[in-house]
Structure 1
Amino acid sequence: MTKSTRRDFLQATTTAVALIRLSGIAHARTQDNAVDIGSRRELFVDQYLIDKLNGARQKLHRPQLAPPVSPPRPHGHYATVLFNGDKYQFYYRGDKDPKVTWKTHGIEAYHDGEVTLYAESKDAIHWTLPKLGLFEHESFPDGNIVLMDEFLVTHNFTPFIDTKPGIPAHERYKALGGLAFQPHQTAVRDKRGPGGLKAFVSPDGVHWKKLREEAVVPEQWGKYFDSQNYGFWSESEQRYVCHFRRFIKGYRGIARTTSEDFVNWTEPVEMPANLPNEHLYTSCTQPYYRAPHIYVATPTRFMAKRGAATDILFMTTRGGDSYDRTFTESFIRPGLGASGWANRANYAAIGIHETSPTEMSMFLTHGRRYTMRIDGFASVNAPLAGGELITKPLKFSGKQLEINFSTSAAGMVRVELQDPSGKALTGFSLDDCDPIYGDALSRVVKWKGNSNVAALAGNPLRLRCAMEDADLFSLRFA
């Protein structure tokens, strides 16, 4: 790459990031221009609360690869991991005959050979393959087929647990699956019927039936749905949301549609998120379980001109038609060895789950599990020399401020409460704050031993966080 070409590329990347951010979050502001966070947990994965960073920066924290287990974890493309309160449920794609591909046998034989497989676990670390007795096939002697002979649907069958209040028990689980036919596939379409995303429901995530015969997300919206198209009930938006594959300006990208009943969906809206030369092969956009108003996304980035190399990115959205890409670097790299650099080798499963009191896990193809600190996607980070975070004016409800933080042995965090103009509130200045050091998922901030901030609830204020060799991951008023 020449210097001028590289300069043009970097300028295009910088411009794209700026546009993505500017189109970003619709802040929940009050009449006095304060962001109303109530008692919600807020993570520093975007600039939603940040007004200024002085000597500090936002830092992405890469997940760590967990050791393998025996027997190996299940794995397959377009996987989904759910937790129903009692057990973890793993859905992934299998092939009746891996030698039958669309290149060698055509798309009809290829998709007829796809099945959806199922595994269970009590800890999301050690998995069993239950003999379900639903479908039998010699390639799967364990009998863990949960869906078979659903043409196109089993290519990317993607379930979720419906948290909408009042949902009938027999529809507790829902799923979407399907493809759109490409222009050269009309003969198969004429024979098998139109594509699109079809809806399924289940009482237990094992016994599934179609919600209706026709697709609920029409074929013409996708190009060509050959990704993982995930729907979920949004607590913050009070509707179902689905992010799905759509080509945007010649690159694989992401579009969004919403529904109030899971049957009738709004016209799709494209969500610009691609930086120059990158395809977003999946979106993996899902509500974060400790802050469901924040949707975290771990898409697979596909570099077509680099041997179809892939890695995992980290993005967020708070609803609406845009993503925040504060972090443009890779979240999970392909890694050492040739296997991670093979054609389409890296896909993250949907589902980020708490697997110990201090860690959460995400799952990748080839049976890999990666771990992170709870809330630990990103932080505001300051060096030992010190740095500060000053928030936008905000309002809260609650009696005390809790933070998720980590310091070195020499580091610390202090918090000052200010009025919107930046003046310290009496009794809550930086000098009043008891120094906070250590490492905790939840530590209550105190000022000369006092943690009660109830008298300030509902009034606009700012937080000034002075940090030394420290990371601040999240905060909430409780």
Structure 2
Amino acid sequence: MSKETILYNGIRQSADWPPHDVDPMSDEAVTPPYLLDAAEGGCRPEVIDITVGRQLFVDDFLIRETDLHRVCHRAVPYAGNPVLRAEAPEETDPNGNVGTSAGGVWYDETEKKFRMWYDVRFNPLLGYAESTDGIHWQRIPVDESGSNIVMGADVKNGTCSVFPDPDAVPEERYKMFLHSMNRHQSTLDYPYYLPRDSHDENNYASALYVSADGLHWRQKGALSRGLCGDMTTVYYDALRKKWVNSIRTYARTRYGETVFNGRVRYYDEHDRFEDLLNWSPNAPFWLKCDRLDPIDPEAGVPPQMYNFDAIAYESLLVGMFQIWRGPENYVIERTGKPKITELIAAYSRDGFHFSRPDRRAIIPASRTEGAWDRGYIHCANGGLIVRRDRIDIYYSGFSGVTRDGRQSAHAGESIGFASLRRDGFVSMEGAGCLVTRPMTVHKASEHLFVNAECPKDALRVELLDAAGRVIPEYSMEDCIPTGGDSTMTEIRWRHGRGTDFLRDRVFSVRFSLRDAGKLWSFWFSGDEHGESGGILGAGYVAAP
């Protein structure tokens, strides 16, 4: 960037972006600068812009003071998992694998159906299926043979990320970033490069594909000049309108006193999809495991950053750290047990720095012999589907059991999902108050909504002006107390007037909970139905 940028939430993004100050040899947890005041070397805005989306309490960005405590929640697996197993002829090799390490899961709001592009046989093929409810899936033939394979081993043989793009020209409505392990695609006749200070024994080129229907694909442009390791992916930051390379490779790093070549991520961003192949050798070091990530007691090795994908949800990015717990491949090939990778939730408000308030897995490996999700858990690109009152997160896992019952580390992959309450990553709980930092909103804001769970009449709200004084007629005493368990409750005051007078003003909100209540989020809306204006993940399902 050539100049400082002010983001949608008021955060100032420096002209030197993206940052190049993350040290691969440090195992300290990185605090996002937007959580620090300027006096602490940070860039927290003096006034936070909450125009976009529901406002979640995943960190202290919004909070000036509180005596409530933060509780992080784990997703609950669907009782009928897995929802997709290896059953079609193309899927029924001895290992029987279908998974989410490639492709994507999205909800098409226009056609009112779920669309899934999924990995077949653990890398070589890409299959396609549809569903009306996200549970029962139908494989859709793409040609007269009846096969649902949209990309074969002659082209794919690696990971890929699929995206619907409703704003694109019709013939390019679907986009794919393909990271191919095919050697002939990686034999380049021009100079190539790796990320600076990175090391990887297996580096592969990438390519871009586009499609009118998501079934029939054509390559767009040449191969990348930048090479990288397996599990290199791409995601779209819809809040900043940036395409992001999540570059997987190895780098010299440290965990405690142990120094080793570990799995890490480098970063690059672009305004256009077409530029995803143009990341430079100066792409900055980005993500790794730190000292707060525990060593798995069974594997006994430092954890590593296996994969990372993210998607915009309401007013922030929700990322999934796929953390490798061990053991190494030579061990699992001997034991026949899947390696352990698990998904840890992460949150960002500037698109680069992520906080992880809970180092437990939001979706763990079950580690249960014979279970479909025993180990090697992969998140889905897209994958976060928003329903009225919940979020569904799609992922895959390995049982380590072949179709004929033998143990094999890379066998028995299937796809399932787990659910959270809507906005349900983190709640502020207890009996007490929470006061926000100074905020502003630049849209119609007649209605104030909360996502809360508390006893009857246990929640009250008052509004404060820029000086922190209670705004007349919007005090706790004027507020009509509310309660119950709802992901969308409107706050009202006795005089019956709304809150649109706050538009373009600086103000704060004080929430008061009693009797062990729970507060998940809040937002202003010009719509009595509570439309937030935020980003709804990989699609919104209006039906229950």
Q: TM-score range by the shorter chain?
A: 0.7 to 0.9
Q: Spell out, residue by residue over 1:175-199, the C-alpha distance to the aligned partner (whole angstroms, 9 max, x if none).
A: 1111579xxx8x9954999832211
Q: Which amino acid aligns with 1:146?
A: V
Select the residue among 53, 71, 74 that pairs with 1:62.
Answer: 74
Conserved? CA contact 1:403–1:442, under 8 Å:
yes
- The Cα of 1:323 is off from its aligned counterpart by 1.1
Conserved? CA contact 2:438–2:507, under 8 Å:
yes
The residue number in structure 2 matching 1:275 is 290
Distance of 2:437 and 2:170 partners within structure 1 = 43
The residue number in structure 1 matching 2:231 is 227
The residue number in structure 2 matching 1:236 is 239
Q: Which amino acid aligns with 2:423?
A: D
The residue number in structure 2 matching 1:146 is 150
Conserved? CA contact 1:20–1:272, under 8 Å:
no
Conserved? CA contact 2:453–2:486, under 8 Å:
yes
As a proportion of its length, which structure holds more helix? 1
Distance 1:333 1:240, change over 3 A: closer
The residue number in structure 1 matching 2:408 is none
Q: Spell out, residue by residue over 1:378-424, the C-alpha distance to the aligned partner (whole angstroms, 9 max, x if none).
A: 22222xxx1222111000131121111112x4672221211244322
Select the residue among 348, 371, 384 that pairs with 2:379.
Answer: 348
For the residue of structure 1 that corresponds to 2:377, the secondary structure is coil
For the residue of structure 1 that corresponds to 2:378, the secondary structure is coil
Q: 1:113-124 to 2 correspondence within 5 Å?
A: 114-124=124-134
Q: Which amino acid aligns with 1:395?
A: T
The residue number in structure 1 matching 2:173 is 172
Is 1:78 paired with 2:75?
A: no
Q: Spell out, residue by residue over 1:54-92, the C-alpha distance to the aligned partner (whole angstroms, 9 max, x if none).
A: 1x1222121111122697456414142022222211122
Distance 1:411 1:244, change over 3 A: farther
- The Cα of 1:304 is off from its aligned counterpart by 2.3
Distance of 1:175 and 1:348 partners within structure 2 = 17
As a proportion of its length, which structure holds more strand? 2
Distance 1:413 1:71, change over 3 A: closer
Q: 1:414-425 to 2 correspondence within 5 Å?
A: 414-425=460-471
Distance 1:339 1:395, change over 3 A: farther
- The Cα of 1:20 is off from its aligned counterpart by 3.1
- The Cα of 1:148 is off from its aligned counterpart by 0.8
Structure 1 residue runs of 4+, over 6 Å off? 23-28, 191-194, 340-343
Structure 1 gap segments, 5+ residues each: 1-13, 99-110, 137-141
Conserved? CA contact 2:367–2:375, under 8 Å:
no
- The Cα of 1:362 is off from its aligned counterpart by 1.2
Q: Spell out, residue by residue over 1:434-468, the C-alpha distance to the aligned partner (whole angstroms, 9 max, x if none).
A: 21201112111112253511122211111111123
Distance of 1:219 and 1:427 partners within structure 2 = 61
Pairwise CA RMSD of aligned residues? Answer: 3.1
Distance 1:355 1:237, change over 3 A: closer
Select the residue among 423, 428, 449 that pairs with 1:380.
Answer: 428
Distance of 1:190 and 1:228 partners within structure 2 = 18
Is 1:159 paired with 2:162?
A: yes
For the residue of structure 1 that corresponds to 2:523, the secondary structure is strand
- The Cα of 1:240 is off from its aligned counterpart by 2.2
Conserved? CA contact 2:318–2:347, under 8 Å:
yes
Select the residue among 304, 312, 316 that pairs with 2:347.
Answer: 316
Conserved? CA contact 1:309–1:341, under 8 Å:
no
Is 1:302 paired with 2:332?
A: no
Aligned residues: 418
Distance 1:473 1:23, change over 3 A: closer
For the residue of structure 1 that corresponds to 2:117, the secondary structure is strand
- The Cα of 1:24 is off from its aligned counterpart by 6.2
Distance of 2:245 and 2:188 partners within structure 1 = 28
Distance of 1:271 and 1:143 partners within structure 2 = 40
Conserved? CA contact 2:35–2:61, under 8 Å:
no
Q: Which amino acid aligns with 1:295?
A: L
The residue number in structure 2 matching 1:257 is 268
- The Cα of 1:117 is off from its aligned counterpart by 1.2
Per the normalisation by structure 1, the TM-score is 0.78
Distance of 1:281 and 1:314 partners within structure 2 = 14
The residue number in structure 2 matching 1:10 is none
The residue number in structure 1 matching 2:439 is 394
Aligned-residue identity in percent: 20
Distance of 2:382 and 2:495 partners within structure 1 = 40
Distance of 1:180 and 1:470 partners within structure 2 = 51
The residue number in structure 2 matching 1:105 is none
For the residue of structure 2 that corresponds to 1:337, the secondary structure is coil
Distance of 2:208 and 2:148 partners within structure 1 = 21
Conserved? CA contact 1:117–1:147, under 8 Å:
yes
- The Cα of 1:257 is off from its aligned counterpart by 1.6
Select the residue among 170, 191, 196 that pairs with 2:205.
Answer: 196
Q: 1:22-61 to 2 correspondence within 5 Å?
A: 22=33, 29=45, 33-54=46-67, 56-61=68-73
Conserved? CA contact 1:162–1:172, under 8 Å:
yes
The residue number in structure 2 matching 1:9 is none
